[in-house]
């Protein structure tokens, strides 16, 4: 298994950056492709991507945009990372129902958190140094009359109604408020302001935002008489049709407090063979020759899960750093019998056990009660039978007596229960 990360660089086997973006599957919809190829292959440009503070953390869908921004920056282009201090107060239209509006204080707090996350993925030094911006800076001073006269007059209601996000809501029972209906105008204003202030000529985003992206290109064309560009990355789904990055309704967040490095590592490690190569293209900086080799390994030696291990290493380290990733790998291996549990970092072990079936029990709780409490067995009699058959271990040691108790002997005052080869549970000793 690889122990070093792929360097963040472009693949020089491609003639242009645009060709590499296409190969990686990062272009679902765009303005003129030939013009974009020439634009990205020419002198450095300024481009932007926006992130709304609708939660205290970004998630894997946002990671697609962050890595796309980084690829463009590696080609010498200059990124603007926009955090939506104003659009976050409004919220873009969801497909089925109105968003709950958050307080100004909450949005301000989330703006700071998202800004810190975005800054980890971009470089703020050199000729292509990134810049962070907040759209509250140019929307807050606008009066309602100024907004309607200077910006609103350039938008046609018929065109706005045709946008996918709007039409979906118009046809739903919930309808759509004027607040969310006006979101596309605000995003168009963002592009116009960034074009005026910084010469920005390209916006990237998810393909589900295409209507909002083109509101900016259309506005700039009307107001400035200039053609600017946009492209949307595809929404990533699993081969089985399920929504990518969701597990029982929970997003995979980039904040370590909301999704631990261990949980993120396991998420990527469990990638389906049918999906893993496309994930390597989108979420890593591996070149196509190396990815082709992993594609061969998936076909010839799928049991080794070499591609999944590399994917998990690369992405988790990109998000959380190599040190925390290596601790997550050590915890994963130790939990499944390939390392010493007692040597693990306490925080990593605790976060790993939180992802397993677990229970909080008093020190000295019998092994019988612990097995039942963690649902490794349905009853005390089944627990005794499993022990008698030699199929139970506690903290890496086989349990041979019904009198054994849980002590929380592992780092952080926890214990690990195992039944058979694969059934694991954690005990947090109170």
Query: Which pLDDT score, from 0 to 100, does residue 168 have?
Result: 82
Q: For the segment 269-284, what is each residue's pLDDT rounded down to a tens digit?
A: 999 999 999 999 999 9
Q: Express as a percent the part of the chain with pLDDT over 90.
A: 80
Where does the pLDDT of residue 177 fall: very low under 50, low under 70, confident under 90, or very high at 90 and above?
confident
Domains and CATH numbers, the chain: 17-235 (3.40.50.620), 237-339 (1.10.240.10), 356-430 (3.10.290.10)
- Residues 385-403 have a mean pLDDT of 93
- Residues 387-396 have a mean pLDDT of 93
Residue 207 above 60 pLDDT? yes
Mean pLDDT of the chain: 93
Q: How far apart are CA 415 and CA 350, in angstroms?
A: 10
Q: How far apart are CA 19 and CA 31, in angstroms?
A: 15
Distance separating the N- and C-terminal Cα atoms of the chain: 37
Closest of 235, 272, 260, 269 to residue 319, by C-alpha: 260
Query: Which pLDDT score, from 0 to 100, does residue 246 have?
Result: 64
Structure tokens at 254: 């980039």
Largest CA distance in the chain: 82
Q: Are strands 358-361 and 423-429 parallel, antiparallel or unpaired?
A: parallel
Of 410 and 4, the structure prediction assigns the larger pLDDT to 410
- The pTM is what? 0.92
Closest of 46, 41, 93, 84 to residue 62, by C-alpha: 84
Q: For the segment 29-52, what is each residue's pLDDT rounded down to a tens digit?
A: 999 999 999 999 999 999 999 999
Q: Average the pLDDT over each of 90-99, 178-187, 315-324, 348-357 and give the range with the smallest value.
A: 90-99
Query: Which pLDDT score, from 0 to 100, does residue 250 have?
Result: 66
Q: For the segment 158-172, what is each residue's pLDDT rounded down to a tens digit?
A: 888 887 778 888 887
Q: For the segment 233-248, what is each residue's pLDDT rounded down to a tens digit?
A: 999 888 888 878 765 5
Q: How far apart are CA 253 and CA 263, in angstroms?
A: 10
Strand, coil or helix: 239: coil
Closest of 214, 421, 229 to residue 338, by C-alpha: 421
Q: Express as a percent the part of the chain with pLDDT over 70.
A: 98
Does the CA dihedral 155-230-172-176 come out positive or negative? negative
Residue 267 above 90 pLDDT? yes
- Residues 8-22 have a mean pLDDT of 97
What 8-state DSSP symbol labels residue 366? B
Helical H runs in 258-401? 261-269, 276-283, 288-300, 306-320, 322-335, 346-354, 367-373, 380-388
Query: Which pLDDT score, from 0 to 100, does residue 38 have?
Result: 97
Residue 357 CB: number of other CB atoms within 10 A?
A: 14
Q: For the segment 329-364, what is each residue's pLDDT rounded down to a tens digit?
A: 999 999 988 889 999 999 999 999 999 999 999 999
* Burial grade of 391 (CB within 10 A; 0-12, 13-18, 19 or more): middle
Strand, coil or helix: 241: coil
Q: For the segment 129-164, what is each residue's pLDDT rounded down to a tens digit?
A: 999 999 999 999 999 999 989 898 998 888 888 877
Where does the pLDDT of residue 3 fall: very low under 50, low under 70, confident under 90, or very high at 90 and above?
low
Query: Which pLDDT score, from 0 to 100, does residue 176 have?
Result: 85
* Partner residues linked to 424 by β-bridges: 418
What 8-state DSSP symbol labels residue 414? E
Q: Average the pLDDT over each of 86-95, 109-118, 191-200, 221-230 and give the range with the smallest value.
A: 86-95
Closest of 387, 360, 382, 385 to residue 372, by C-alpha: 382
Q: How far apart are CA 388 and CA 373, in angstroms?
A: 19
**Backbone dihedral angles phi then psi of residue 406, each to the nearest 5 degrees:** -85, 130
Query: Which pLDDT score, from 0 to 100, does residue 1 have?
Result: 54
Indicate the length of the chain as a whole number. 430
Residue 306 above 60 pLDDT? yes
């Amino acid at each position: 298994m690889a122990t070093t990360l792929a360097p963040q660089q472009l693949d020089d086997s491609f003639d242009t950056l645009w060709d590499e973006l296409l190969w990686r599957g990062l272009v679902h919809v765009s303005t003129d492709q030939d013009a974009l190829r020439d634009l990205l292959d020419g002198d450095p440009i300024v481009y932007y991507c926006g992130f709304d503070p609708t939660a205290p953390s970004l998630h894997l869908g946002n990671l697609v945009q962050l890595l796309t921004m980084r690829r463009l920056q590696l080609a010498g282009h200059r990124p603007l990372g926009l955090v939506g201090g104003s659009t976050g107060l409004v919220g873009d239209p969801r497909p089925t129902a109105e968003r709950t509006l958050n307080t100004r204080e909450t949005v301000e707090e989330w703006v700071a958190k998202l800004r810190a996350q975005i800054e980890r993925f971009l470089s703020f030094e050199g000729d292509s140094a990134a810049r962070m911006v907040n759209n509250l800076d140019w929307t807050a001073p606008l009066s309602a009359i100024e907004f309607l006269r200077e910006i609103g007059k350039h938008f046609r209601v018929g065109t706005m109604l045709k946008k996918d996000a709007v039409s979906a809501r118009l046809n739903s029972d919930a309808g759509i408020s004027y607040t969310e209906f006006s979101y596309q105008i605000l995003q168009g204003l963002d592009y116009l302001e960034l074009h005026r202030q910084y010469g920005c000529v390209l916006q990237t985003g998810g393909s589900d935002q295409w209507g909002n992206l083109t509101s900016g290109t259309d506005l700039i064309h009307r107001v400035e008489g200039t053609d600017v560009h946009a492209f949307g990355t595809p929404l990533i789904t699993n081969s089985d049709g399920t929504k990518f990055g969701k597990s029982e309704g929970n997003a995979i967040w980039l904040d370590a407090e909301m999704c631990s490095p261990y949980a993120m590592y396991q998420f990527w490690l469990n990638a389906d063979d049918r999906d893993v190569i496309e994930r390597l293209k989108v979420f890593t900086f591996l070149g196509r020759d190396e990815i082709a080799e992993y594609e061969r390994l998936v076909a010839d030696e799928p049991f080794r899960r070499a591609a999944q291990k590399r994917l998990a290493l690369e992405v988790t380290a990109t998000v959380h750093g190599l040190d925390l990733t290596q601790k997550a790998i050590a915890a994963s291996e130790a939990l499944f019998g390939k390392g010493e549990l007692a040597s693990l970092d306490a925080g990593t072990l605790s976060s790993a056990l939180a992802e397993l079936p677990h229970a909080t029990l008093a020190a000295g709780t019998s092994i019988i009660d612990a097995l039942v409490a963690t649902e490794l067995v349905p009853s005390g009699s089944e627990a005794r039978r499993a022990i008698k058959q030699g199929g139970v271990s506690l903290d890496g040691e086989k349990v041979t007596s019904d009198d054994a108790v849980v002590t929380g002997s592992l780092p952080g005052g926890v214990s690990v229960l195992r039944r058979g080869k694969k059934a694991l549970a954690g005990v947090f000793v109170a």
